[in-house]
Amino acid sequence: MTSYKNILSDNQEGICTITVNRPEKLNALNHETIQEIGRAVAAAVKDKGIDGIIITGAGQKAFVAGADISEFSSYTVEEGKKLSSDGHKVFNSIERCPKPVIAAVNGFALGGGCELAMSCHLRVASDNAKFGQPEVKLGVIPGYAGTQRLVQLIGKGKAMELLMTADMIGAEEAHRLGLVNHVTTPDQLMNKVMEIMAKIRAQSPRAIEGIVNCVDAYFNKEKDGFAFEIEEFGNCFGTGDFTEGVSAFLEKRKANFVRS
């Protein structure tokens, strides 16, 4: 079992829960923490016994309160670029993860925390969660694709406002804007995440992977998402999941997808 310094990675009943574990710093993301998240996600993808990933923060107060400001306070231009580029690689690996990744947002999701949540496929927030991109207060811009994913999720006008004003919004407002999928009480947060995960797990894993690839292609300027879907759709017909899914429907029974 891999051990980490800044995160916890816990596999239970086929789900890997990655908890950013620096509660005394409101789970701020230093470089090492982001690398550990990347390693934990890669390990969960490789592990045949894992069907999905949950990302959350330790404690009651924060999901992640941003990049670790004290770490980058004396960075040079080159160091800043490397920090951002390394973060992009990890956050992209979350977005393109072939298994479902759900953010359980249990408090402040600011800066890199909002960006981490946005890199996940879905977001469920507790009603005490707060979202924002306050980087402009510090004289920087979001560096883990916040300028891109926030626009994708809530549209240009509102994204511009949040990015330029550094405003913090509550969970209900985030829900209204489409930044989060569901809002719950803090004690129901994990139940709601598990309920969604259970629905996804009942579907064809190969088809779920195809969905991730096609949706990613929509946002990838180097790909033609429509052509990509035709390809992925066709490929489904050669999978055991398709044989099982269609047979189950015709035989009026529940599909039992074999994970490989």
Question: What would you measure as the largest C-alpha separation in the chain, in angstroms?
Answer: 65
Name which of 108 and 228 has its Cβ closer to ligand COA: 108
- Which of these is catalytic: 36, 115, 195, 209? 115
- Give CA–CA dist 59/12, Å, rounded: 20
CA dihedral 219, 222, 223, 225 (to 10 degrees): 30
Residues 6+ apart with CB under 8 A from 181: 122, 123, 124, 175, 196
Task: Report d(CA 242, CA 53) in Å as an integer.
Answer: 24
Closest distance of CB 77 from ligand COA, Å: 17
| Residues 6 or more apart whose Cβ sits within 8 Å of residue 180 | 105, 117, 123, 124, 125, 129, 131, 171, 174
CB closer to ligand COA out of 20 and 44: 20
Catalytic residue among 135, 222, 231, 244: 135
Which CB sits closer to ligand COA, 97 or 162?
A: 162
Q: What residues make contact with ligand COA under the rule CB under 6 A?
A: 25-26, 28, 65-70, 108, 110-111, 134-135, 138
The reply to whether 244 belongs to the active site is no
> Which residues touch 70 (CB under 8 Å, ≥6 apart)?
none
Catalytic (active site) residue 173? no
Nearer to ligand COA, 111 or 205 (CB): 111
Q: Which is nearer to ligand COA, 73 or 260 (CB)?
A: 73
Residue 104 Cβ, how far from ligand COA at the closest point, in Å?
18
29 versus 196: smaller Cβ distance to ligand COA: 29
> What is the smallest separation between the CB atom of 252 and ligand COA, expressed in angstroms?
53
For residues 217 and 34, what is the distance between their CA atoms, to the nearest angstrom?
24
- Contact between 82 and 190 under an 8 Å Cβ cutoff? The reply is no
Can you tell me whether residue 135 is helix, strand or coil?
helix
127: which 2 tokens?
A: 């009603």
CB of 234 to ligand COA, least distance (A): 43
Q: Tell me how far, at minimum, the Cβ of 253 lies from ligand COA, in Å.
A: 50
Strand ranges in 67-223 using DSSP code E only, listed in sequence order: 101-105, 108-110, 122-126, 130-132, 168-170, 182-184
Answer whether 55's CB lies under 8 Å from 115's CB. Answer: no
Catalytic residues: 115, 135
